[in-house]
């Protein structure tokens, strides 16, 4: 068999690099290896590989896979023609699903089977060659509006979004994991005057610590080891558009001051540079952490919180939106039926009842995952309870019982409603001062 194509392998274990290169040399015309992902982007630009075999963890003791996901996103954004196969020593199926959703071609677990690894890499190469034969696809922005549902809380949030979208006010979106914070950010961008350009997204939870500053502000050639070319930071790339910073609570304290200055001066200075670059962005930040508590503990700057918190929107967990569960499930059902070329008439009443009663600790993301599995497993005309893989953790009792924050928010909302919006009466009924009430109203986005 003639050897074809170029394979790039990135792994911090040099023994693994040698072993895989020896194996792959018999199938690929060229095999290039890297022991660190720091120069990955420039190497891809120079070597033009067809397939990338990418390790998911590059620091001892860290096995979250966040680094692999980060570099996967970077490669997909800059070199979408390269097929990425992820390599990990940890057989985490949820991580595999996450990687596939972020565009990975496939996922290989260490220790690997030689035949299986070669099969995966050659299949990836075949897919890469197939893609090169086709005309490049036109990138189309997603103009699909957000599903708001029928709950009163979401109706209130919709009203706030429609008011704030036309402004350049900074927005902070809070809520549990999986509640749809990025989807809401995209809706705000879609309704804004900036929607002629793509929203720029930055997942602060997936960026390696050493790359925070470069990723946000950019860097100049020679600013640090392996900085072989200038790099434009996300704040400059988003100029004229919207910058969505997910998991902003992960921003290191020493960079929070620099970000505050950038937002105030509307300019950034890249790492290793002397001249500032003007920026024109609408900032939408999101987190599942309590930034107010982080301010109290000294982990987050209060002045930065006030700067990003012009408008605060708190997304409710799915368990507080029970009326929306089945309609959302129907949307996911249609989506995955098209994806997997299946024809299902809908969700049975029994299955719908099971879904409505489920606590959904993982919120909308968990529902989406459940419906994808249900479509794959369904061998009937409609989804039945037996097709739903509903997992309830040992902490499920906590998920159906509101947290203290949720209870406080609900108590304040009820008091505001029953007092007809008279905040003096509300404060008296709750036994707190008006100033405390104002602070809590702002905190909970009421």
Can you spell out the DSSP letters for 301-318? -HHHHHHH-SEEEEPPPG
| pLDDT value of position 398 | 42
Instruction: Please report the pLDDT score of residue 135 as a whole number.
Output: 37
DSSP code string of 241-254: SEEEEETGGGS-HH
Position 93 confidence tier, pLDDT thresholds 50, 70, 90: low
In this predicted structure, what is the pLDDT of residue 304?
96
Across 23-45, average pLDDT = 86
Residue range 177-200, pLDDT digits in tens = 999 999 999 999 999 999 999 999
Two tokens at 360? 């959904």
Alpha-helical runs (H) found in 358-433: 363-377, 396-400, 404-418, 423-430
What are 389-404's pLDDT values in tens digits?
Answer: 887 665 544 444 445 6
Q: Which of 125-139, 191-205, 231-245, 314-328 has the lowest mean pLDDT?
A: 125-139
pLDDT value, residue 301? 95
Pair of tokens at residue 21: 């290169």
Residue 363 contacts residue 322 (beta carbons within 8 Å):
no
More confident position, 414 or 44: 44
Query: From start to end of 228-340, where are the E strands?
Result: 231-232, 242-246, 267-268, 277-278, 282-287, 311-314
- What confidence score (pLDDT) does residue 418 get? 65
First to last CA, the chain: 67
Residue 279's Cα: distance from chain center in Å?
23
Those residues whose C-beta lies under 8 Å from the C-beta of residue 19, and which sit 6 or more positions away, are: none
Q: What is the mean pLDDT of the chain?
A: 84
CATH fold of 318-391:
Helicase, Ruva Protein; domain 3 (1.10.8)
What residues are paired with 30 via a beta bridge? 6
Give yes or no for a contact between 69 and 37, defined as CB atoms under 8 angstroms apart: no
pLDDT of residue 166: 92
CATH superfamily, with its number, for domain 6-133: Response regulator (3.40.50.2300)
Q: Where are the domains of the chain?
A: 6-133, 154-314, 318-391, 402-444
The answer to whether the predicted template modeling score (pTM) of the entire model surpasses 0.85 is no
CB 189 within 8 A of CB 329: no
Q: Which pLDDT tens digit goes with each residue over 66-88?
A: 677 888 888 888 888 999 998 87
Same-fold call for 6-133 versus 154-314: yes
- On the 0-12 / 13-18 / 19+ scale of CB atoms within 10 A, 114 is exposed
Please state which CATH number belongs to domain 402-444. 1.10.10.60
**Which superfamily is assigned to 154-314 in CATH?**
P-loop containing nucleotide triphosphate hydrolases (3.40.50.300)
Pairwise CA distance, residues 275 & 256, whole Å: 20
């Amino acid at each position: 068999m003639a050897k074809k194509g170029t394979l790039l392998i990135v792994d911090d274990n040099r023994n693994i690099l040698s072993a895989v290169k020896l194996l792959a040399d018999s199938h690929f015309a060229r095999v290039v290896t890297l022991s660190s992902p720091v120069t990955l982007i420039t190497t891809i630009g120079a070597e033009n590989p067809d397939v990338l075999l990418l390790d998911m963890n590059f620091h001892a003791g860290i096995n979250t896979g966040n680094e692999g996901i980060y570099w996967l996103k970077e490669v997909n954004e800059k070199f979408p023609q390269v097929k990425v196969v992820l390599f990990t020593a940890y057989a985490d199926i949820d991580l595999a699903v996450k990687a596939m959703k972020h565009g990975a071609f496939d996922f290989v677990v260490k220790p690997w089977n030689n035949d299986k690894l070669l099969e995966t890499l050659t299949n990836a190469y075949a897919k890469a060659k197939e893609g090169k034969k086709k005309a490049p696809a036109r990138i189309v922005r997603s103009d699909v509006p957000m599903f708001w549902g029928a709950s009163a809380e979401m109706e209130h949030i919709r009203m706030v979004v429609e008011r704030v979208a036309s402004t350049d006010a900074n927005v902070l979106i809070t809520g549990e994991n999986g509640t749809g914070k990025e989807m809401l950010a995209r809706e705000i961008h879609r309704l804004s005057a900036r929607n002629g350009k793509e929203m720029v997204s930055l997942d602060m939870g997936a960026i390696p610590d050493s790359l925070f500053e470069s990723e946000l502000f950019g860097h100049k050639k020679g600013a640090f080891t392996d900085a072989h070319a200038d790099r434009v930071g996300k704040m400059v790339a988003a100029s004229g558009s919207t910058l969505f910073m997910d998991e902003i609570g992960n921003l290191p304290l020493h960079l929070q001051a620099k970000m505050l200055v950038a937002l105030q001066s509307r300019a950034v200075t890249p790492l290793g540079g002397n001249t500032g670059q003007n920026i024109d962005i609408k900032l939408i930040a999101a987190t599942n952490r309590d930034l107010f508590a982080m301010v109290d503990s000294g982990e987050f700057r209060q002045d930065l919180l006030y700067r990003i918190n012009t408008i605060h929107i708190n997304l409710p967990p799915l368990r507080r939106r029970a009326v929306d569960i089945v309609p959302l499930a129907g949307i996911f059902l249609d989506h995955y039926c098209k994806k997997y070329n299946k024809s299902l008439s809908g969700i049975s009443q029994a299955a719908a009842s099971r879904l409505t009663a489920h606590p959904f600790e993982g919120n909308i993301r968990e529902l989406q995952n459940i419906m994808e599995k249900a479509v794959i497993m369904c061998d009937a005309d409609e989804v039945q309870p037996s097709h739903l893989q509903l997992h309830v953790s040992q902490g499920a009792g906590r998920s159906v019982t509101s947290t203290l924050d949720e209870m406080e928010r609900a108590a304040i909302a009820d008091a505001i409603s029953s007092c007809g919006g008279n905040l003096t009466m509300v404060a008296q009924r709750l036994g707190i001062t008006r100033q405390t009430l104002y602070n809590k109203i702002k905190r909970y986005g009421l």
